[in-house]
């Protein structure tokens, strides 16, 4: 049975308008593989069909077609976007300077069109790529047109404390809670105002989106925005299970269920599942599993762990789940739980786990073998910050 989407994307609105806002102007395009309209045609196809002059394309982390794995630098030497024929500039290279457009990339543009699908978690880097691009455009006197898209986790709930000042990185470039509850249009305009970018941003709002909607309430197809975000189920657990990137545990990369299959070679999956069942985490079941990643951590080896099954999204707090998962592993296996010490998102002087948590307090509590009650007290403290942010964001909410 054919399902008609109840939501029109910002890109759908531009298509309906015949791209009138862009006609006769020199356009730069920041997009990725999920930059499709509800008809599943990519933004580049629609722009070419409308005769829009695309001068240059910009690609975020994972590349313009999302074919690069996590933290893999993407080059742009002699790269050409195949539909528009425009040259491509990577915004995820070998250093922090590569993360924003250079002044020379913007001098021949009248407008920068941004169309990126976010997943609602502070760690997911596309919101920072969009914000950095808007800031660079402001300095160059270039207008930004930003196509808004749904937050797949909805826009009602906020979870987690704000990133601490000493722990800012590309997984938290400005202070935001872990689950921010904003659309990409809302988060970029919030940052623009709060951080003083001075950008001229025309947000092409969606039609029909409501804050209580998860992605599967919209009727829109799911198009994975990065290689390890294959489903909405992945996005639902990601704000908590992405924390495993800061450890030497497997977060399930190299499997078909990244961030849902998690474990290590020292874990007894049945013992861990029993321990997690006692944690104050709701709306989820922890199933003991053995799995074999084909690449990444433990590639080619069978390891023990758990699979997450979210049974009630409204009761499930993903960051809370990730915190208690790490606490349970520490209490069961002690120093076998180790932190990633290699450079992470261009930072090598602080632990990745601290960058992900946005501070050192969670790691220190876990290392002290804090029990479930103590960890939950920590999480509840973060929720006070989340509530304050939820109030502060009100002027930037576009959908009621």
For helices 232-241 and 318-333, angle between their N-to-C axes, nearest 10 degrees: 60
What's the rounded Cα separation, in Å, for the pair 18 and 50? 7
- Inter-residue contact 203 to 113 (CB < 8 Å): no
CATH architecture label of 10-226:
3-Layer(aba) Sandwich (3.40)
Q: Which pLDDT band, with edges at 50, 70 and 90, does 94 fall under?
A: confident
Mean pLDDT in residue range 257-272: 98
pLDDT at 256: 96
The 10s digit of each residue's pLDDT in 191-213 is 999 999 999 999 999 999 999 99
- Inter-residue contact 114 to 91 (CB < 8 Å): no
What's the rounded Cα separation, in Å, for the pair 174 and 160? 14
Point out which residues pair with 90 in neighbouring strands: 59
Mean pLDDT in residue range 252-265: 97
Distance linking the first and last C-alpha atoms of the chain: 30
The 10s digit of each residue's pLDDT in 316-346 is 999 999 999 999 999 999 999 999 999 999 9
Q: Sheet of 303-310: strands edge to edge?
A: 261-264, 303-310, 284-291
Q: Which pLDDT band, with edges at 50, 70 and 90, does 1 fall under?
A: very low
The 10s digit of each residue's pLDDT in 275-314 is 999 999 999 999 999 999 999 999 999 999 999 999 999 9
Q: Which pLDDT band, with edges at 50, 70 and 90, does 79 fall under?
A: confident
What's the rounded Cα separation, in Å, for the pair 24 and 52? 7
What's the rounded Cα separation, in Å, for the pair 237 and 162? 19
Q: List Cβ neighbours of 139 (8 Å cut-off, separation of 6 or more).
A: 103
Indicate the CATH number of 232-386 among 3.90.1150.140, 3.40.640.10, 3.30.70.100, 3.40.50.11400: 3.90.1150.140
pLDDT at 76: 61
What's the rounded Cα separation, in Å, for the pair 144 and 29? 10
Which residue is listed with tokens 């987690």? Answer: 160
> Where exactly are the structural domains of the chain?
10-226, 232-386
% of residues, the chain, pLDDT over 90: 93
Mean per-residue pLDDT over the chain, rounded:
96
pLDDT at 73: 66
Q: Containing H/E element for 29?
A: strand 26-31
Domains 10-226 and 232-386 share a fold: no
Q: Reduced to 3 states, what is the DSSP secondary structure of residue 216?
A: helix
């Amino acid at each position: 049975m054919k399902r008609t989407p109840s939501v029109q994307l910002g890109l759908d609105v531009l298509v309906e308008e015949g791209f009138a806002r862009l006609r006769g102007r020199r356009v730069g395009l920041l997009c990725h593989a999920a930059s499709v309209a509800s008809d599943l045609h990519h933004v580049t196809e629609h722009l070419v069909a409308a005769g829009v002059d695309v001068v240059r394309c910009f690609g975020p982390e994972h590349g313009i077609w999302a074919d690069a794995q996590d933290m893999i630098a993407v080059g742009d030497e002699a790269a050409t976007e195949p539909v528009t024929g425009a040259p491509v500039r990577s915004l995820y290279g070998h250093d922090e300077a590569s993360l924003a457009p250079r002044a020379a990339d913007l001098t021949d543009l009248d407008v920068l069109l941004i169309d990126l699908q976010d997943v609602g978690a502070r760690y997911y880097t596309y919101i920072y790529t969009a914000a950095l691009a808007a800031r660079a455009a402001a300095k160059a006197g270039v207008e930004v047109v930003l196509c808004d898209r749904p937050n797949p986790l909805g826009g009602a709930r906020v979870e987690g404390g704000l990133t601490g000042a000493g722990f800012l990185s590309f997984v938290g470039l400005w202070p935001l809670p872990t689950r921010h509850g904003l659309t990409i249009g809302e988060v970029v305009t919030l940052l623009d105002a709060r951080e003083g970018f001075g950008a001229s941003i025309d947000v092409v709002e969606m039609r029909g989106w409501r804050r209580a909607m998860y992605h599967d309430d919209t009727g829109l197809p799911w198009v994975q925005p990065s290689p390890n975000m294959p489903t909405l189920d992945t996005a639902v657990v990601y704000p908590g299970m992405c924390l495993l990137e800061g450890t030497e545990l497997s977060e399930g990369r190299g499997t078909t269920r990244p961030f849902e299959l998690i474990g290590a070679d020292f874990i007894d999956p049945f013992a861990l599942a029993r321990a997690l069942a006692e944690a104050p985490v709701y709306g989820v079941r922890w199933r003991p599993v053995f799995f074999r990643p084909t690449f990444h951590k433990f590639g080619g080896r069978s390891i023990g762990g758990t699979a997450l099954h979210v049974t009630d999204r409204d009761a499930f707090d993903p960051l809370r789940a990730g915190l208690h998962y790490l606490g349970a592993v520490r209490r069961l296996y002690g120093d076998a739980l180790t932190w990633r010490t290699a450079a992470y998102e261009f930072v090598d002087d602080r632990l990745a786990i601290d960058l992900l948590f946005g501070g050192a307090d969670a790691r220190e509590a876990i290392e002290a073998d804090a029990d479930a009650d103590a960890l939950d007290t920590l999480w509840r403290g973060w929720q006070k910050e989340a509530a304050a942010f939820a109030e502060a964001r009100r002027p930037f909410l576009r959908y009621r």
